[in-house]
Amino acid sequence: MRVLVTGGGGFLGLAIVRRLAARGDRVRSFSRSRHADLDALGVEQAQGDIGDPADVLRAAENCDIIFHVAAKAGFWGPYEEYYRTNVIGTENILSACRQRHIQKLVYTSSPSVVFDGRDHENVNESMPYASRFLAHYPATKAKAEQMVLAANGSDLATVALRPHLIWGPGDNHLMPRLIARAKAGKLRIIGDGKNRVDCIYIDNAADAHLLAADRLQIGSSIAGKAYFLSNGEPVIIWDFINRILDVAGAPRVTRRMPAGVAYMAGAVLETIHRILRLSGEPRMTRFVARQLATTHTFDLTAIQRDLGYSAKVTTEEGLQRLRDYFAAAYSP
């Protein structure tokens, strides 16, 4: 295939690019800047702004399929920035598909599009979108996902995957933040520490995207649908975080904060940051407080049935790979 991967230099995007290149697909990455890892793979790189329709249209030239992975992540910042990247950027991708006669689009979404602040245990795709969001990221991702699925039709087949908490070697977002906060003594167990969470190892997330691409056709059974995606091995999140800190050589988190206190602290800190226009993120937000204190597990029946998905790398094997990665990174 001739493939465009938006955000191809990011954690998940790069894993997808590597698999596509390894099997012989012609791959082009689209992002704001060049990435040395992509240069090493010999992958073509188109640079531009996902919020600029001309840049997106140019990047999509002569492609058969788009993996739209790029997004503004995080849980703090101006709404306009999230909207431009996650919503306008997705509109530009859909427009480019139509103008370039591209018939397949695999969209990377998020389970947070249905998160309403409560425990979600073994939920499936019948779960409705949240009616109220505690952060701009899930709000804009929900808008984008709905646009992608609504665009499915006789000239474009679309599918959305919702991977939860992607982790593994090369993570440049989640793990570095956890490790830095643990080393600074700023990490706290929120709530009773017993909440169970589904997460996914990076290789499994990338494999699922290729499975979706290979099965996606106009009128196919997966077209126009969204799928939850995880390892299928729920973990007690704070035990799992401590195991990651162990392999990274960071101190374990043992100090606790009641879930209600964390939520109120997030509300106060958000207000202070907003009024004083402080730079950086608050140490706690309402969304993070709810995420870290509640259960998030997902029924994978649909993705297993429709895509033939199964996690090839178990959580235990992933942790060993992560241990080897850190050992190599910090060896003399």
- The per-residue pLDDT for range 6-52, each reduced to its tens digit, is 999 999 999 999 999 999 999 999 999 999 999 999 999 999 999 99
Instruction: Report the alpha-carbon distance of residue 50 to residue 60 in Å, rounded.
Output: 11
- The per-residue pLDDT for range 163-172, each reduced to its tens digit, is 999 999 999 8
State phi, psi for 158 to the nearest 5 degrees.
Answer: -125, 150
Instruction: Quote the pLDDT of residue 331.
Output: 54
Residue 69 burial class via C-beta count within 10 angstroms: exposed 0-12, middle 13-18, buried 19 and up: buried
Q: Nearest-CA neighbor of 235 among 297, 173, 177, 290?
A: 297
pLDDT at 274 over 60: yes
Instruction: Quote the pLDDT of residue 202.
Output: 98
Contacts of 284 (CB under 8 A, 6+ apart): 262, 265, 266, 269
Q: How far is CA 150 from the centre of its chain?
A: 21
For the chain, the structural domain boundaries read 2-165+200-229+297-311
Q: Nearest-CA neighbor of 71 among 175, 143, 157?
A: 143
Do 131 and 116 form a contact (C-beta atoms < 8 A)? Answer: yes
Instruction: Report the alpha-carbon distance of residue 151 to residue 158 in Å, rounded.
Output: 7
Which residues are registered as beta bridge partners of 46? 30
- pLDDT tier for residue 283 given thresholds of 50, 70 and 90: confident
pTM: 0.94
Instruction: Quote the pLDDT of residue 329.
Output: 76
Q: Nearest-CA neighbor of 107 among 124, 95, 90, 123?
A: 90
Instruction: Report the alpha-carbon distance of residue 6 to residue 59 in Å, rounded.
Output: 9
Which of 86-90, 174-178, 261-265, 293-297 shows the lowest per-residue confidence on average (mean pLDDT)? 174-178
Per-residue pLDDT averaged across 61-81, rounded?
94
Q: Does the active-site annotation cover 137?
A: yes
Q: Which of 82, 83, 107, 137 is catalytic?
A: 137
- pLDDT tier for residue 315 given thresholds of 50, 70 and 90: very high
Q: Name the one residue in this structure whose structure tokens are 């060993």.
A: 320
Helix (H, G, I), strand (E, B) or coil at 288: helix
- pLDDT tier for residue 330 given thresholds of 50, 70 and 90: low
- pLDDT tier for residue 281 given thresholds of 50, 70 and 90: confident
Q: How far is CA 188 from the centre of its chain?
A: 23
Instruction: Quote the pLDDT of residue 74.
Output: 86
* Mean per-residue pLDDT over the chain, rounded: 95
Instruction: Report the alpha-carbon distance of residue 107 to residue 127 in Å, rounded.
Output: 19
Q: How many CB atoms lie within 10 A of CB 113?
A: 24
Q: Does domain 2-165+200-229+297-311 have CATH number 3.40.50.720?
A: yes
Q: How far is CA 52 from the centre of its chain?
A: 22
- The per-residue pLDDT for range 106-150, each reduced to its tens digit, is 999 999 999 999 999 999 999 999 999 999 999 999 999 999 999
Per-residue pLDDT averaged across 216-231, rounded?
97
Instruction: Quote the pLDDT of residue 124.
Output: 97
